[in-house]
Amino acid sequence: MIYSYYPGCTLKTKAKDLDMYARKSAEALGVTLEEIPEWQCCGGVYPQAKDEIATKLSSVRTLASAKSAGQDLVTVCSACHHVVKRVNDDMKNDEYIRTRVNNYLGLEEPYAGETNVIHYLELLRDVIGFDQLKKKVKNPFKGKKIAAYYGCLLLRPSGVMAMDNPENPTIMEDFIRAIGATPVVYPFRNECCGGYITMEDKNLAIKKSNQVLASAEGKGADLVITACPLCMYNLSKNGTKHSLPIYYFTELLAEALGVK
């Protein structure tokens, strides 16, 4: 199984662990991730205005590159996944955006949303299967109570992201079960950690991150997992009142598979 892979800017810098353990685990699971050549940063947030064209180009270049390789595109970072998937939806369904982007890029063959974008968690669930993953686990996290932090970007808007039920998701809890641990379901698992507001209004990010961690701690979690480098930063740096350890889900996966 060969996939195009889009790591994104932060996975090459502050979130190297998220990337490295994703690659090691994929290898152990028989999946080849081929990094898109000369990919560009997605911009971190989806440009919502209909007339924002230039800010969508980097995502389209990535999508078109996967298309020409004839491969599905795998993402790991929640923000990259969100941006690339929503731009893909625009290219598929918004004629105004599609026309202007294609006019600018002048690709050999115009891009119209053909690439299938899947998050690494969806790869585990839909391609490998959590039951198969469970069979490959060498070091199960027996007795560990793990809280999945979805945040915002993987789930919403659900019409486009289509990963899971946006209010009652199960994909990360099923992942936690597959690696032999016990999932902790808590009210704030799909509420915002503050995101980029940490640069504009740090106190707001501190308030939001503490709310998430209080909620997870209140339900007895030993640790929290995330797929997002900015959630990782907020929960670990701005979650000032709590000391719950935060891990990337890929690190736990690699440890469970014995490739850490």
Partner 1 sequence: MSTVKEKNMIDEILRMSGSDPKRCMKCGKCSATCPAFAEMEYHPHQFASMIDQGKIQPLLTSEAIYKCLSCFACMERCPRDVKPAKLIEAVRLCVIREQSRNHMTPDDIPCLLDEDLPQQAIVSVFRKYSK
CB 215 within 8 A of CB 184: no
Q: Does 55 bind partner 1 (CB under 8 A)?
A: yes
Q: Between the CA atoms of 73, 175, 41 and 26, what dihedral angle is there, to the nearest 10 degrees? A: -60
Q: Does 28 bind partner 1 (CB under 8 A)?
A: no
Complex with partner 1: residue 20 or 28, whichever CB lies closer: 20
Q: Does 210 bind partner 1 (CB under 8 A)?
A: no
Q: Does 16 bind partner 1 (CB under 8 A)?
A: no
Rounded Cα distance between 94 and 184, Å, is 39
Least distance between partner 1 and beta carbon 134 (Å) = 31
Report the chain's terminal Cα–Cα distance, integer Å: 22
Q: Does 237 bind partner 1 (CB under 8 A)?
A: yes
**Residue 185's closest CA among 227, 150, 161, 155?**
150
| Span of 23-31, 46-54, 61-69, 171-179 interacting with partner 1 by CB under 8 A | 46-54
CB 42 within 8 A of CB 98: no
CB 213 within 8 A of CB 221: no
Task: Give the pair of three-digit tokens for residue 115.
Answer: 């690439």
| Span of 24-32, 175-183, 225-233, 247-255 interacting with partner 1 by CB under 8 A | 225-233
Under DSSP, the state recorded for 54 is G
CB atoms inside a 10 Å sphere around CB 113: 18
Q: Does 44 bind partner 1 (CB under 8 A)?
A: yes
| Span of 49-57, 111-119, 138-146, 216-224 interacting with partner 1 by CB under 8 A | 49-57
Q: Does 132 bind partner 1 (CB under 8 A)?
A: no
Complex with partner 1: residue 71 or 210, whichever CB lies closer: 210
Interface residue list for partner 1 (CB under 8 A): 8-10, 13-15, 41, 43-51, 55, 77, 79, 151-152, 155-158, 166, 191-192, 194-201, 204, 208, 229-230, 232-233, 236-237
